[in-house]
A and B are shown apart, each in its own frame.
Chain A
């Protein structure tokens, strides 16, 4: 079944109908209509999946999809056009450019925490780049997947962008087939299986994984504002965000203040009983509920800690003085549990971060620019937001992706288009001026070798339209200034001459 669907997508791609930009734009416009027209149904599905509020869904998912679509539609002709590059002396009369081309059939495997954003954002880039795409939403966000399967064929080309449903075994079946790119969002364990499967056909992959994103709070910062921002990022979607601040690192002297500020913020956000707040979510299913609750075992939380298995509810929970080698610090929490680990100073925090896997995101709260620079220079991560959390995700001009165990590849905005395109190097020559080529042919001698060396070593010249326009404008301005200067000098000199002349005349 999956084989037939993929084969149909491949044939549809080979028919060439994704190549014209008009087709791609039309598909993107349809997708936009789908998001606008079906917002209510999408919110309902997410309410059933994750207990999301009607505001959380647009805030966390739909706004980003809408923005990506608008950007892609506006910029598509620019992104897809040929990109001239610098030439050397040998290629001065040739056309030298990079031609972005679609890869073919892309497999997009979505995740359950933001089932619409992590599935449709790559799809926007895949469509814009001219690919076909097989979409495999996560079976855990059941209502959203069923809705996606119902809606997508109504708005998009069914053959080019099919939706394949199922769990682990259906995904395994899909991974046995050949794709031109696999875009996966999810856990490291499955990410490994995806990459192993991709090895069979040497398929390039983009892996958006996760990890423990550290959040360092410097003692020199506005702790109240920092805690408010961290609290928002940590407990939105009930902590089930790949770039949620996973744990806090701070000095012991400010730990108490941090806890108080978070307590105050939680009260502001969710009231005295978060369980009854319409803005507080739930854990996706019982398995993950048990996993998160299990992580807290043996620790007495300083805030929250309550849970209700019947609703998969876990209260916003904070734990202090968490030992670095505890179970809580071994795996990504992916839930509303926020451990605080104390460090002696910033250097200690940097060592702590560097001893662990490269995270997907790093958060630094400090008012000291030097300290911020130091931390950025001496650590690495997929992305970093300073004095806030998660916001680097919201800007489509920034590439979103991991490094090391947190993933490979990047997307958002133009970066998705680039990730799902092939940049074909093109050199279009003519058969004229063959004499120039004679130096490179055998039989070889020293003179020929020297000529070839010089031609090869000639500096690269930027012959792009923009540079040419600037060169022409600069030349015109330069000439105009020169002429003006000459006129001024001549007039100045001429005035004297004419004075003499006229004096002579009248005399």
Chain B
């Protein structure tokens, strides 16, 4: 296992000070591959079939490489403006002072990736961490072993070995790693592991970002173009064989809507994956035998009725796109995040009932509504909470680097993508530079106190005087 020395106080460590890269051009050189054009980055070298989950090339390129390149391009072109000190408005007492907010690196950041998008969930946070000027330790998921070893091989070739390292291993190695002190821990994965990370982080008051998951509900209500809705739903649900933290986990709709939706879903599935999805090159497999077994068990325990799919093959880790109806709230399929190609449909009588059901559960990472009635979209948006929200589509809200991507409540803490990643890995230092003049003015605050001094102080520091421009 590759071990790296972690400094005890990251601000003063030689590794870290060597990597303190205040100038955007220097940071850019780490974000951009050595010797290549700004539009490419070292990740183009990972443009290869990702064998861990039999992921189709299109899905791998779109969800792992392109989204990363997009974020990199966005970050590289905006980094120098993000790094500029942000001017702060002043009051009368501080009108002559230079007040601003400086973004500073935190130190050494630990990024723990996940297996479902092993490259994106590891390297996208790294873009923000590098942009903010930190050193980074990457810990790829041991479940997606092939990608992990590729990352371990390539990162030292393209990035400064002093500042960026990859550590591989399983649960035991991660626990060992967490005994070290970091300045920020970025974790994508399950709640169980997140709890132990937070416990470890509390020892040194290490801030964390937790990208967890949850059951992302999908409400289908009112007049809806079923063909378009079904296509978008099927694409979002069965992309990466349903193994996306933001995949629509289950559908809430009335019985009549369900009766219209089912044929549309069948049609869309046939269009996308053909008569026999098992032979379709565009459908990927379950990542590991353990996850396949977990999903198979859910299908066996469910009291719902399988109306589409249901076939599976353990040896191939194959599971057909499956739709289950007549699922109740206490069904096995509703007890945990599915993270697989099984789509339960629960019947509700109204939007209010759907909202009540959603609010009885934990706050999800994403929430979807398919409806052509804007009042329905608005009602669900305002009466629920979730990490992100998308109406009349699925997943695509996370492709925009201008939107923060993260959870709330049980679905996570913190956000990243684009500038949000830069902010997550930066410390916003409040700075006030005062002069030596006007010391007489300061006597207002010095003892011995008086009513007159107090009155003046109240006025000069009041919020309203923030509005008085400097003449």
Tell me whether A449 and B61 are in contact in the complex, defined as CB-CB below 8 angstroms, given that A192-B202, A456-B67 are known contacts. yes
A485 at the B interface (CB under 8 A): no
Count CB-based A-B contacts (< 8 Å). Answer: 313
The minimal Cβ–Cβ distance linking B6 to chain A, given in whole angstroms, is 15
Q: Are A388 and B463 in contact (CB under 8 A)?
A: no
Q: What is the CA–CA distance of A350 and B431 in the complex, to the nearest angstrom?
A: 17
Task: Let me know if B205 and A199 touch, CB within 8 A.
Answer: no
Q: Whole-angstrom distance between the alpha carbons of A127 and B105 in the complex?
A: 31
Contact B280 A395 (CB under 8 A): no
B457, A384: Cβ atoms closer than 8 Å: no
Contact of B458 among A58, A391, A398 (CB under 8 A): A58
B18 to chain A, nearest CB (A): 13
In this assembly, does A430 line the interface, its C-beta being within 8 Å of a C-beta of chain B? yes
Cα distance, A432 to B403, chains bound together (Å): 22
Q: Which of A188, A396, A410, A431 contacts B225 (CB 8 A)?
A: A431
Residue among A59, A280, A422, A442 with max Cβ neighbours from chain B (10 Å)? A442
Max chain B C-beta neighbours (<10 A), residue from A88, A391, A395, A408? A395
Rounded to whole angstroms, the CA-CA distance of A454 and B88 in the bound complex is 39
CA distance in complex: A69, B55 (Å): 54
Contact A457 B389 (CB under 8 A): no
Question: Known interface pairs A59-B449, A429-B390. Does A384 touch B94 (Cβ–Cβ under 8 Å)?
Answer: no
Binds A, one of B112-120, B285-293, B339-347, B379-387: B379-387
**A269 and B446 in contact (CB under 8 A), knowing A67-B462, A354-B12, A452-B62?**
yes
B35 within 8 A of A: no
Q: Is B51 an interface residue (CB 8 A)?
A: no
Known: A199-B195, A225-B436, A269-B447. A399 touches B101 (CB 8 A): yes
Given known A-B contacts A367-B436, A397-B88, A270 and B447 have beta carbons under 8 A apart: yes
Note all chain A residues with C-beta closer than 8 A to B225.
431-432, 434
Verify if A467 is at the interface (C-beta below 8 Å from B): no
Q: Which residues of chain A in 364-415 are interfacial with respect to chain B, using CB atoms and an 8 Å cutoff?
A: 367, 372, 376-377, 379-388, 391-392, 394-400, 403-405, 407-410
Q: Are A434 and B231 touching (Cβ within 8 A)?
A: yes
A428 beta carbon closer than 8 Å to chain B: yes
Interface check B252, CB cutoff 8 A: no
**Given A55-B453, A101-B385, A441-B272: A384 and B463 interface contact (C-beta under 8 Å):** no
Q: Does A87 interact with chain B (Cβ within 8 Å)?
A: yes
Interface: A142 (CB within 8 A): no
* A96 engages B430 (CB within 8 Å): no
A139 at the interface (CB under 8 A from B): no
Are A398 and B430 interface neighbours, CB within 8 A? yes
**A332 in contact (CB, < 8 A):** no
Does any Cβ of B come within 8 Å of A81's Cβ?
A: no
Contacts of B62 in A (CB 8 A): 440, 449, 452-453, 456
- Residues on A with C-beta less than 8 A from B91 are 394-395
Q: Is the CB of B104 within 8 A of A380?
A: yes
User: Contact between B404 and A457 (Cβ–Cβ < 8 Å)?
Assistant: no
Residue A180, interface by CB 8 Å: yes
**B447–A434 CB distance below 8 A:** no
In contact, B449 and A424 (Cβ under 8 angstroms) = no
- Nearest B residue to A445 via CB reads B58
Contact between chains at B449 and A456 (CB < 8 Å): no
Identify which of B148-156, B159-167, B302-310, B391-399 touches chain A.
Answer: B391-399
Chain B residues whose CB sits within 8 angstroms of the CB of A444 once the complex forms: 56, 58, 282
Interface size band for B: 35 or more
B429 at the interface (CB under 8 A from A): yes
Quick check: A279 and B447 within 8 Å, CB to CB? yes
Q: Which residues of A contact B229 (CB under 8 A)?
A: 431
**B53 interface residue, CB < 8 Å from A?**
no
Query: Which A residues are in CB contact (< 8 Å) with B408?
Result: 101, 103, 422, 424
Instruction: Enumerate chain A residues within 8 angstroms of B198, measured Cβ to Cβ.
Output: 195, 198-199, 202
Question: A222 contacts the other chain (Cβ, under 8 Å)?
Answer: yes
CA distance A497 to B11 in the complex (A): 77
Q: Are A351 and B90 in contact (CB under 8 A)?
A: no
Q: What distance in Å separates the Cβ of B384 from its nearest Cβ neighbour in chain A?
A: 9
- B191 close to A (CB within 8 Å): yes
Pair B439/A225 contact, Cβ less than 8 Å: yes
Complex contacts, A99 vs chain B, CB 8 Å: 381, 389
Which chain A positions have C-beta within 8 A of B399?
Answer: 90, 456
Docked Cα-Cα span, A313 to B282, in Å, equals 77
Determine if A386 and B228 form an interchain contact, defined as CB atoms under 8 angstroms apart. Answer: no
B204 interface hit (Cβ, 8 Å): yes
**A303 contacts the other chain (CB 8 A):** no
| B445 contacts A by Cβ under 8 Å | yes
The yes or no answer to B442 lying at the interface (CB within 8 A) is yes
Interface-lining segment among B69-77, B121-129, B170-178, B254-262: B69-77
Extra contacts besides A55-B454, A204-B414, A444-B58 (5): CB < 8 Å: A199-B202, A367-B436, A422-B408, A428-B381, A434-B231
10 residue pairs, one from A and one from B, having the closest CB atoms = A55-B449, A442-B282, A195-B202, A199-B198, A398-B430, A383-B430, A425-B403, A279-B447, A427-B397, A85-B402
- 21 A-B pairs within 8 Å (CB atoms) are namely A63-B461, A85-B403, A91-B396, A101-B385, A103-B408, A192-B202, A192-B203, A195-B201, A199-B199, A279-B449, A386-B432, A397-B89, A423-B415, A426-B389, A428-B381, A429-B393, A431-B232, A437-B228, A437-B235, A444-B282, A449-B62
